[in-house]
Amino acid sequence: MAQPSPTHATAATPRHIAIIMDGNGRWARQRARPRTFGHAEGVEALRRTVEAAGELGVGYLTVFGFSTENWRRPVEEVNALFDLLRLYVVRDLDRLAREGVRVRVIGDRANLQKDILEIIDRAESRTRANDKLNLTIAFNYGGQDEIARAARRAAEEVKAGKIVPEDITAQSFARYLDTAELPPPDLLVRTSGESRLSNFMLWQAAYAELVFVDRLWPDFDKNALQAAIEVYGRRERRYGGSDPAS
């Protein structure tokens, strides 16, 4: 397949790609290194992927950075994951802002540390006017938790008399989700060879094409992203409709 021109999408390029960045721990274990080393290398893979997404003409990229279930991991590893978010923003925010990347962070912010909240606010505020690539980081995020929080928001509006229960439809409910400003993902990629969603974008991925890549996240690069896009390009998206050839 011919290489797409930089910053220009082909007809088969998905508008929105979501990625479950899996395999950092296994990558480190294969090298007899601590899991935190794998997470650090995972940040480098994220840098490569953000750059590649822009070059390939992807408009929206959403990555799963820290799940609500990750709190069950050892304290040292949780702290390391938080440190990586700090490091990524401190190191890359100027470049992302300069290159036209808009940064959003979705997930539950209720129990995040003050400095993390400040980092998130700084990244979102600094890049709000950018529109070349929309980078969304799901941090302290879980799909079921997101839907529950959205349901509470809708229930609060019913209680306040702003809407009636009959106003809630699949279309209107989406505005209560963390991703209200984003289109649904066209392509959802998971690395490491695992074949499950792991509580990621459960509502939004209803009709996403799923591609499971047998490569650990720290080894992910532009070629791997383009290969996933090529798989997507061979799919026929019917959104529940029938196959016209059958």
Alpha-carbon distance 140 to 80, whole Å? 14
Q: How confident is the model at residue 175 (pLDDT cuts 50, 70, 90)?
A: very high
| Residues 136-147: b if buried by 16+ CB within 10 A, e if exposed | bbbbbbbbebbb
The answer to the question of residue 137 being in a domain is yes
The partner residues of 17 in beta bridges, in order of sequence, read: 61, 187
Q: 73 is written with which tokens? A: 């991991």
Annotated active-site residue in 22, 92, 178, 186: 22
Encode pLDDT of 37-55 as tens digits.
Answer: 999 999 999 999 999 999 9
The answer to the question of residue 214 being in a domain is yes
Structural domains counted in the chain: 1
Annotated active-site residue in 24, 70, 92, 108: 70
pLDDT at 246 over 60: no
The answer to the question of residue 220 being in a domain is yes
Q: Are 143 and 199 in contact (CB under 8 A)?
A: yes
- The residues near 71 (Cβ < 8 Å, ≥ 6 apart) are 78
Q: How many CA atoms lie within 13 A of 192 on its CB side?
A: 21
pLDDT at 158 over 60: yes
Catalytic annotation present for 24? no
Element (H, E) at 65: strand 60-67
H-only helix segments in the chain? 24-30, 35-55, 75-98, 114-127, 143-159, 170-173, 222-233
The answer to the question of residue 159 being in a domain is no
CB count within 10 Å of CB 133 equals: 22
The partner residues of 139 in beta bridges, in order of sequence, read: 66
pTM of the model: 0.91
Q: 210 is written with which tokens? A: 């799923």
Encode pLDDT of 176-191 as tens digits.
Answer: 999 999 999 999 999 9
Q: How confident is the model at residue 242 (pLDDT cuts 50, 70, 90)?
A: low
The answer to the question of residue 178 being in a domain is no
Catalytic annotation present for 214? no
Structural domain harbouring 221: 16-142+184-233
Alpha-carbon distance 224 to 219, whole Å? 9
The answer to the question of residue 158 being in a domain is no
The answer to the question of residue 156 being in a domain is no
Q: 174 is written with which tokens? A: 């989406």
Domain with residue 189: its CATH number is 3.40.1180.10
The answer to the question of residue 117 being in a domain is yes
Encode pLDDT of 63-102 as tens digits.
Answer: 998 898 888 888 888 888 888 888 888 889 999 999 999 9
pLDDT at 225 over 80: yes
